[in-house]
Amino acid sequence: MNQSAYDVIVVGAGIVGAACADEFAARGMRVLIVDREVVGSGATAAGMGHIVVMDDSDAQFALTRYSQQLWQALRPQLAEDVEYEQCGTIWAAADEEEMAEVQRKNEYYASRGVPTQVLDAKALQQFEPNLRSGMEGGLLVPEDAVLYPPCAARFLIGRAQQRGATLRLGASAVQTGHGQVGLSDGAQMSAALIVIAAGASSSELIPGIEIKKRKGHLVITDRYPGFLRHQLVELGYLKSAHSVTSDSVAFNVQPRQTGQILIGSSRQYGAEHRDVDHDILTRMLQRARLYMPALGSLSAVRTWTGFRAATPDKLPLIGPWPPDKSLFLATGHEGLGITTSLATARILVDQIAGSHPQIPVEPYLPSRTAKECAHA
């Protein structure tokens, strides 16, 4: 008898894998989640936990907006340690050119039903007194939020487990495909469906998946309640996220519910080691101090790094992996894993279950990247 104990095996217990497991379990499927470390220990542990609607492309907007609304709906059920806080995002404009971008963004969001508020220089100063003077203004997106990702992942896994999902930690997947997952401790499992949600490690598991590691740095301070009220991002962030080849830093700070300030952000290609890169760290912090001089006197308690999973077209891979009928991808989320995790799970499971996804899924299908895929 060849009956598998599971309908689906989710490889990766980060925020995306957790969301997928939760979704599959909610639809009555028998789920196994495997992870080589602990829940939420990869990019999920390293990221900022920012839930943000983005407008780089219509596809990015659709996914982030859908997912942000799912988070909002989920909020009342979230455990306290998820620390969900709807503090909103302010996109800060340093000059007239960036202010024009504020107007463009405002029109884009407003026409799609996302509440926004344009802030002039005075309003911006009032909202965020620690920002340097002389800023042009900004765009407030009040429905954006922040949370603490490892606990969010754990919450979602917990819900899946309550519906019978199994969690297996401490062994990495060494081969996946054709309905089989082999782990480093020798275990072999089978399921009709295997979901690869392994973030920056996905391309190690499945050669042919085009995912590159994009390293980031973060610094967290001691508690300074009231220092910062919203997630603050410079509009130059977009220039940084757009660049595909060079190392870049951008001003991006977040108030944690604890009152600690999270300071970012940086992006590097080709950096494989986890060590803090001092030059990048310095540049990142100096840029942050340009925007918020008062940051300089705060106490920095920890620094860390992480690897985002970046795809060539900056959109995630969500859907079937053509070379192998049993494989599905839910990976490549770059800096938007937290935001888009819930929608990723929805549209993935919709595709599998044959229900109609709420947004068009074509932009995220792995088949879009299939060039010469080796046949199984």
- The residue within the footprint of another protein, chosen from 224, 323, 325, 361 (CB under 8 A), is 224
- The residue within the footprint of another protein, chosen from 221, 266, 311, 341 (CB under 8 A), is 221
How many C-beta atoms surround the C-beta of residue 253 within 10 A?
A: 27
Residue with smaller CB distance to another protein, 104 or 274: 274
**How many angstroms separate the CA atoms of 133 and 122, rounded?**
9
Q: What is the CA radius of gyration of the chain?
A: 20
Nearest partner of 344 among 209, 334, 165, judged by Cα? 334
Residue with smaller CB distance to another protein, 193 or 281: 281
Window 237 to 296, contacts with another protein (CB under 8 A): 258, 263, 275-276, 278-279, 281-286, 288-289, 295-296
Based on the shown chain and the rule CB under 8 A, indicate whether residue 171 belongs to the binding site for another protein: no
How many C-beta atoms surround the C-beta of residue 367 within 10 A?
A: 13
Residue with smaller CB distance to another protein, 223 or 239: 223
Residue with smaller CB distance to another protein, 40 or 137: 40
- The residue within the footprint of another protein, chosen from 298, 330, 336, 347 (CB under 8 A), is 298
Q: Shortest Cβ distance from residue 44 to another protein (Å)?
A: 9
Adjacency order of strands within the sheet including 212-223: 117-120, 137-141, 89-93, 231-234, 248-255, 260-269, 212-223
Window 302 to 321, contacts with another protein (CB under 8 A): 302-304
Based on the shown chain and the rule CB under 8 A, indicate whether residue 159 belongs to the binding site for another protein: no
Residue with smaller CB distance to another protein, 300 or 373: 300
Window 22 to 61, contacts with another protein (CB under 8 A): 37-41, 45
Instruction: Indicate the angle between helix axes 15-26 and 149-162, nearest 10 degrees.
Output: 20
Nearest partner of 149 among 193, 224, 83, 234, judged by Cα? 83
Q: Which stretch binds another protein (CB under 8 A): 137-145, 175-183, 217-225, 327-335?
A: 217-225
Q: How many residues does the chain have?
A: 376
Diameter over CA atoms, the chain: 72
Residue with smaller CB distance to another protein, 112 or 304: 304
* Two structure tokens written together for 116: 């926004």
| Strand runs labelled E in 112-211 | 117-120, 137-141, 145-146, 166-169, 173-177, 180-183, 188-196
Per-residue b or e along 5-43, where b marks 16 or more CB atoms closer than 10 Å to that residue's CB = ebbbbbbbbbbbbbbbbbbbbebebbbbbbbbeebbbbb
Q: Shortest Cβ distance from residue 304 to another protein (Å)?
A: 6
CB-count burial class (<10 Å; 0-12, 13-18, 19+) for 337: buried
Based on the shown chain and the rule CB under 8 A, indicate whether residue 184 belongs to the binding site for another protein: no
- The residue within the footprint of another protein, chosen from 81, 95, 96, 107 (CB under 8 A), is 81
Based on the shown chain and the rule CB under 8 A, indicate whether residue 100 belongs to the binding site for another protein: no
For 295, residues 6+ apart whose C-beta sits below 8 A from its C-beta are 130, 221, 253, 261, 263, 285, 288, 289
Q: Shortest Cβ distance from residue 38 to another protein (Å)?
A: 4
Q: Shortest Cβ distance from residue 43 to another protein (Å)?
A: 13
What is the size of the binding site for another protein (CB under 8 A)? Answer: 41
Q: Which stretch binds another protein (CB under 8 A): 1-9, 197-205, 221-229, 327-335?
A: 221-229
Residues engaged in binding another protein (CB under 8 A) = 37-41, 45, 81, 150-151, 154, 169-170, 219, 221-224, 258, 263, 275-276, 278-279, 281-286, 288-289, 295-304
